[in-house]
Structure 1
């Protein structure tokens, strides 16, 4: 295992205020803390060191942000926009869950308009470019320091741990790792987003917060390798309702298509072959009792099977018949 201390160049004072030892770490329940959306667009643009605090206020990101806002009602699904480091490929665009890449989109109004119209509104290939299919998994780490110092402190350390683990495991061809712009809720730093396929090849975009370098091996082993959500640091998933966490027996709602890796709970959810999810319950077992609170009294209702209803009715009828016969004999003997 990597020596985390050697990976971090964060001074102790900054680590306490902006890093992994700050008091706000793990202070909030972050499950389902993202808004519901169905598509994510990443625009390659410069480097994080050159990004403005509001990166959508300049250049190509601004054109995309303006058009997505103007065409919001025309989009088939709610769409998020982020910027990621260009690395010499400024103007390239990645789209998830479509798993496609378009190269070299110019910072020109007409060109961006045609791209948004064709690809994001009409969901067709861009008439002026060729899409490239993507494969493998994609990890985006928020390192937008000019927007919030917490991301500037935590993000690079997490990124370095990912680089080390991916390299030592020989996964460089299977996992793409990039720095990205603000993803929302800096107080949850480190923030990362992982787009990876499940066993059937369907792409899921899972968000994680309060991530530390120590979480990186588990994210590789569980989320990427097995498609298992790590619930303690999970923020939500692309395609799921967001906002206030829905609850079931005190646990955050877990999306279908993923199983759960969380040793703190007494069980988990497993995906069936047809995509259904079964949570700690045999499919052939009877329904669990429905608990209903009535003032201070607790009443339990157990749904009955049709056969049980018939048997019960027959027993009641037999008892009534016996009672009538006994009463008749009693009258005659009197």
Structure 2
């Protein structure tokens, strides 16, 4: 599915405000305040506007859907929440490695949480990108047991080689998923600016009838995610 976003460059210079702004001089980094988008000046002056945005070369992205009120949002590092899904996954991976298993070198797994609502009261949903596969209602406490499951088997395959294909789970019924860092406890800039970016994505997508509705199939989903390297990510 082709996403009909505007393809022409914005008619603005790199450091010009996008909306009529108060008459105040540009900061040393080139930041100029905008009257419409409420970026606090104290944050705008701290953002690097010159160096290239960092990229992630992850072979696999695992996203745990904890909803907007998940306890992980209160931690600077989501894996620090003892008993949480990310903490349990790290614990289980450590045990797997102590059994003599070793992942392939130079391979990377990125694990984040997102505010996509939990679909089930007794567990969380876990999405694997780029496969667009989702495991529903996974209980963190069940990972501490010795019982094997389809989800745990998938995780072991991914730990061994993050490029391995995920064959289990169900298909995510979306054409594109946009993830934007909104992790306030990790970086205040993301916590303030991330939700503004999410809202703007949703506004434009809704105008173009591309935003996925709660009961709809296909379309585009936009969610806030925990920290993953200073940029947004689009999974298609």
The whole-number CA distance in structure 2 between the counterparts of 1:67 and 1:80 is 16
| Equivalent-residue separation in structure 2 for 1:64 and 1:193 (angstroms) | 22
Deviation per residue, 1:275-320 (Å, 9 max, x gap): xxxxxxxxxxxxxxxxxxxxxxxxxxxxxxxxxxxxxxxxxxxxxx
Deviation of the 1:22 alpha carbon: 2.0
For residues 231-310 of structure 1, the aligned pairs below 5 Å read none
Task: For residue 71 of structure 1, report the CA deviation from its aligned partner.
Answer: 4.8
**1:34: Cα distance to partner?**
3.5
Q: Which has the larger radius of gyration?
A: 1
Counterpart contact for 1:48–1:180, Cα < 8 Å: no
The match for 1:193 is 233
State the partner residue of 2:117.
Answer: 87
In structure 2, distance between residues paired with 1:182 and 1:118: 26
Considering fraction of residues, name the structure with more helix.
Answer: 1
**Matches of 2:109 and 2:205 in 1, distance apart?**
29
Aligned to 2:224: 179
- CA change 1:167–1:23 in 2 (3 A) is same
Mapping for residues 111-260 of structure 1, pairs under 5 Å: 114-115=149-150, 117-122=152-157, 123=165, 125-126=167-168, 130-173=169-212, 174-185=219-230, 191-196=231-236
Structure 1 CA distance for aligned equivalents of residues 180 and 94 of structure 2: 24
Residue number in structure 2 paired with 1:244: none
4+ residue runs over 6 A deviation: 1-4
Q: How many residues align?
A: 180
Q: 1:171 to 1:148 in 2, by over 3 A?
A: same
Offset at residue 172 of structure 1 (A): 1.3
RMSD of the alignment, in Å?
Answer: 3.2
Change (3 A) 1:7 1:148: same
TM-score normalised to structure 1 length: 0.47
- One of 45, 49, 53 as aligned partner of 1:22: 45
The structure with more strand, counted as a fraction of residues: 1
Report the CA distance between 1:103 and its aligned residue: 0.7
